Structure 1
Amino acid sequence: MTDIRRTVLWVVFTMSLVLLWDGWQKHNGHPSMFSPAPAKPAAAASAPAGGVPASAALPAATAAAGSPGVPATTVQAPASETVEIRTDVIKATLDSQGGSLVRVELLKHKDESDPSGNVVLLKRSAGHTYVAQTGLVGIAGAPNHLNAMTVQPGARELAEGAQELVVRFESPEMGGVKLIKTYSFKRGDYAVSVKHEVQNLSAAPLSPQLYVQLMRDGSAGPGESSFYATFTGPAVYTDKAKFQKLDFEDIGKNKAEFEKSASDGWVAMVQHYFASAWLRNAQSPREFFARKVDNNLYTVGMVFPMGQAAPGASVSAEDLLFVGPQEEKKLAVLAPGLELVKDYGWFTILSKPLFWLLDQLHKLLGNWGWAIIALVVLLKIAFYWLNASAYRSMAKMKAVNPRIMELRERLKDKPQQMQQEMMRIYREEKVNPIGSCLPIFLQMPFFIALYWVLLSSVEMRHAPWILWITDLSAKDPYYILPVLMTVTSLFQVWLNPAPPDPVQAKMMWIMPLAFGVMFFFFPSGLVLYWLVNNILSIAQQWMINKQMGVQH
């Protein structure tokens, strides 16, 4: 019984290392040890190549490429012109080739690594591709994202006092139809309204289908770390199947499993802190697709039937294109489940209320660093009696530890007798060797959930605390917080009863050093939370040891 507590700590330590290694593997594109490869979908249920419904006709522009459904991006396109617009929160570039959105710069989110000085989420360059595209299928030769469109005259910058900026593209007649695409950018909003109007210029009724898609290369997002894993890739949401993340590797192998059709839902591209998503909240049939379209290019999207248009008539549809930060409260308003792009992992049920509480503390204190400290204090208060029970068990263990050490030395050649004597001492002193472990396990989900809150919240980006800590999402530039965290962890080891086994005793000192090295590269907000937790734990344990007369 005397080694049970050490065994539990070893399990925690080993699992932590395993999880860190698993995160490293996923970060470098290798499969997770805990997520077996999904079964290959049955042929009958498989989406056709390109992920587009079988009913969708092959656009003429893609015939040469041999890619059914949504047009392949590798087809040679005519020269196009770009249009740059600016609102108070974004600077965007649209391309007349298909009227696609090919660049979005977030003016309120800084990124020193980008030449613009801001986060550039959507981008089309030699080294990175991430764009939003739309077009028509279901009618041979209908306009798609590869065809030239004409941009109509209009304002290119949101005027003082104006609430909306409109950019309109028109296609020539193709396949008997004309496509009009209208972007409406609103003040203070990262959600862009995109309206598609299809005019039937033929002599017969037509039933066009609209596709919307996000195309991105499979590279990691900017600012991602090798020391903790965050998800980058497509996601599909439906009310039935909920939030489904798709790995680029699975898409490339045609092994990605997700809901293929529904009357609700959306698609997104997710990365650390930021996301883009095509949204339509109105109940209407839609089919989802995800595919690899080039060596390192992937698409995720939806196809909607637009209804029948009589000769000379038109049909239209309006969708939202979100491109911006993962601000949880704002995302929840845009579409059901959209806040799930802010990925808390397994502990979402705990992380969401913890973030709500953290946000309330921030409103009260006006600083995210102090809000983190206040939240840790509240958690320690909530678990005070649970921790007190654990620390009393530790204090009792430390009080009898000299007797246990002497016993192990004296009876080291008689293990059975030694075990009996140890049990007798524990009974006499009313010591429970595992009494300090259960409270730790009960609290662990809450602190892991808080870890993911701090790791995932875009609100921490460039949020200052005090003095040298000017960005809670970045590592401490002078490593002061990691050093203090490591020192407090070592002090906790000194407060605890030493293991009777000399090898275990040495390892108990090595563990905080190993964790301390990793924390040198963690965001300072995470290190601050752990440091404050350590300090409060030390204070409580020191007080209880004093009350019980345990010598340090």
Structure 2
Amino acid sequence: MDIRRGILWMIFIFSVFMVWTNWQAYNAPQVATTQANTNTQHPSAPTAANTSSAPVVASNTPAQASEKVQISTDVFNLTFDTLGAQIVRAELLQHHDAEDKTKPTVLLDNDKVLYTVQSGLVGPANLQKSYPKQDTLFTLVSTEKALTGETLDVVFRAESDGLEVTRTYTLHKSSYRITVKDDVKNTSTEVQNPSQYRQITRDSHEPAGGMSMAPTYTGWAIYSDAERFQKVTFDEINKNSAEYVKQAPDGWISFIQHFFVTAWIPEQGKERTYDIRKAGQNLYAISAVESLGSVAPGASVSNTATLWVGPQDQKALAEIDPTLDLVVDYGWLTFLAKPMFKLMSWLHSWIGNWGWTIVVLTVIIKLLLYPLSAASYRSMAKMKTVAPRMQALREQYGDDRQKLNAAMMEMYRTEKINPLGGCLPILLQIPVFLTLYRVLLASVEMRGAPWMGWITDLSVSDPYFILPIIMIATMFLQMKLNPTPPDPMQARIMMIMPLVFGVMMLWFPAGLVLYWVVNNILSIVQQWWITRSLTQAANEQILTHK
């Protein structure tokens, strides 16, 4: 088996991988394709944390006239609604929209897609209490609307049924982290037993900018130390088949989409109830509820959580919680993708350009695999020198396959040729290729990252198909450096393989094609050098014998 069969194996394995990936996408839950009237939908608050689950509770409170408050930082344009003191729109100023690069990415929204975060208080399930929650009208207390220093506090206040809530959103410079603190004061004459909930609400519309050939996960995720990282799809919620941790003293909740995540990280060490449920027509919610204990008349209690609304920045997420970077979806290749991304991040810290980082990474991988690939190329070079003898053996033994194979194996042994050597470099490239594919697909750091000239975004396909064309040319050149197959049919098939594989790469991320082009060029240089060295050695040996 030589490099041609190795390429066939690589194409076969890669094709199986893509079929499997798209099969997953095909069997994923179907998202809604019609626009829901999201402005009239009001998701309910969960029940208190003294039950094992949080069923949907219908809210009879009519929507009240409220005020929209615009707040800006260096990374955010946020819209708060005084109804519930909730964030109803979040524009990420440093990340362009997937379809219109002149506009920022909109993550939270209550217009085209209903996607908001809420928090509030609920009472025990057996008491009819209406504490301040997402359908309570709050008053804006703070006055500053733009961040000018390191932090900015946006403060709201409301009172209902004997409890006064002062909610402070603390925005941080150059960060998508938002600290949310609720100061709860008992203004009544009786003991109150409130529970604090944090919630993410979203409809099932698929986010814009997805890649049909490279589907990514869109859905809910929850983490606890006991059950670790658990995903819950819309389909599982609709079928009431979702399995996830219901109660834990730790963890966090989130909604994940390609490159971005919204997550609530409550204070750790406090027992809480988790719930994921359908909250209305094409509306879903995930919540974490924890008891604030008994609050005596005139007494106060505080509860703080961290809210992240932004990109899946692995370093920043891990600084908030060491497990939060699990939202970056590398799939079953995580054990390889994480070390590769760490290496690439380290290289990028020195190089400063993700395209050149991929080039340097390719060189490093090529150097690590050099001993194996060199042995393989030596075997292929020897195969090329004995090609006339192989053809003579085929003519000598004709259709007697047994004698032909025996004669060929004897020749391989005499000439110290490994017939399987040509496959090894190709097969070793497969896990590297697929791992880099997942890294480019899942790492937001690659989104919008330029290389040079016409490559302005390594995470999307080459707009002019220049890299795929170069890839096809270099694969043809590699084929020319190998012995021509004696079988005419096999020769024709091998000649069209670079074209087939190149066409497949037309719609893949430019960063992935860049890796393959650089790898091809390095392989050509290495193969040419080894072949040249062996030819010179053979010529010198002939001259010596003469």
- Deviation string 1:178-218 (CA, Å, 9 cap, x unpaired) is 33322111211211011123333444323222221212222
Q: Alignment partner for residue 370 of structure 2, among 371, 384, 393?
A: 384
Alignment of 1:97-112 (within 5 A): 97-111=83-97
- Deviation string 1:403-436 (CA, Å, 9 cap, x unpaired) is 3344445545322222222222222222222223
1:170 equivalent to 2:165? Answer: no
Indicate if the aligned counterparts of 1:143 and 1:171 stay in contact, CA closer than 8 A: no
Q: Which has the higher contact order (CA 8 A, sep 6+)?
A: 2
Deviation at 1:451, TM superposition (A): 2.7
2:18 paired residue number? 20
CA distance 1:69–1:77, shift in 2 (3 Å): farther
**Matched AA of 1:129:** L
Q: What SS class does the counterpart of residue 171 from structure 1 fall into?
A: strand
Alignment of 1:165-314 (within 5 A): 165-174=152-161, 176-314=162-300
Deviation at 1:275, TM superposition (A): 1.1
In 2: Cα distance, 1:236 partner to 1:542 partner = 53
CA distance 1:98–1:411, shift in 2 (3 Å): farther
Q: What SS class does the counterpart of residue 357 from structure 1 fall into?
A: helix
In 2: Cα distance, 1:412 partner to 1:247 partner = 60
Deviation at 1:8, TM superposition (A): 5.9
**Matched AA of 2:150:** Q
**Matched AA of 1:14:** F
Indicate if the aligned counterparts of 1:136 and 1:208 stay in contact, CA closer than 8 A: yes
Higher-Rg structure is 2
Q: What SS class does the counterpart of residue 107 from structure 2 fall into?
A: strand
Q: Identify unmatched segments of 5+ residues in structure 2.
A: 31-43, 539-546
Q: What SS class does the counterpart of residue 389 from structure 2 fall into?
A: helix
CA distance 1:512–1:271, shift in 2 (3 Å): farther
Deviation at 1:518, TM superposition (A): 2.7
Indicate if the aligned counterparts of 1:81 and 1:97 stay in contact, CA closer than 8 A: yes
Indicate if the aligned counterparts of 1:104 and 1:123 stay in contact, CA closer than 8 A: yes
1:359 equivalent to 2:345? Answer: yes
CA distance 1:204–1:153, shift in 2 (3 Å): closer
CA distance 1:159–1:269, shift in 2 (3 Å): closer
Indicate if the aligned counterparts of 1:220 and 1:232 stay in contact, CA closer than 8 A: yes
1:129 equivalent to 2:114? Answer: yes
In 1: Cα distance, 2:64 partner to 2:309 partner = 27
TM-score scaled by length of structure 2 = 0.86
Q: Alignment partner for residue 320 of structure 1, among 306, 312, 324?
A: 306
Q: Identify unmatched segments of 5+ residues in structure 1.
A: 33-48, 59-67
**Matched AA of 1:169:** F
Deviation at 1:392, TM superposition (A): 1.9
What RMSD over aligned residues (CA atoms) do the two structures have, in Å?
3.0
CA distance 1:386–1:75, shift in 2 (3 Å): farther
CA distance 1:252–1:501, shift in 2 (3 Å): farther
**Matched AA of 1:12:** M
In 2: Cα distance, 1:241 partner to 1:380 partner = 39
**Matched AA of 1:18:** V
Indicate if the aligned counterparts of 1:168 and 1:182 stay in contact, CA closer than 8 A: yes
**Matched AA of 1:154:** S
**How many residues of Structure 1 are paired with residues of Structure 2 in the alignment?**
521
CA distance 1:194–1:164, shift in 2 (3 Å): same
Q: What SS class does the counterpart of residue 213 from structure 2 fall into?
A: coil
Deviation at 1:55, TM superposition (A): 2.8
- Deviation string 1:248-275 (CA, Å, 9 cap, x unpaired) is 2222222222222222111111122211
**Matched AA of 2:363:** V
Query: What percent of counterpart residues are identical?
Result: 44
CA distance 1:532–1:312, shift in 2 (3 Å): same
Deviation at 1:517, TM superposition (A): 1.7
CA distance 1:173–1:452, shift in 2 (3 Å): same
In 1: Cα distance, 2:444 partner to 2:66 partner = 35
In 2: Cα distance, 1:135 partner to 1:442 partner = 54
CA distance 1:211–1:543, shift in 2 (3 Å): same
Indicate if the aligned counterparts of 1:52 and 1:289 stay in contact, CA closer than 8 A: no
Indicate if the aligned counterparts of 1:492 and 1:538 stay in contact, CA closer than 8 A: yes
CA distance 1:153–1:286, shift in 2 (3 Å): closer
CA distance 1:465–1:9, shift in 2 (3 Å): closer
1:85 equivalent to 2:71? Answer: yes
Deviation at 1:50, TM superposition (A): 9.7
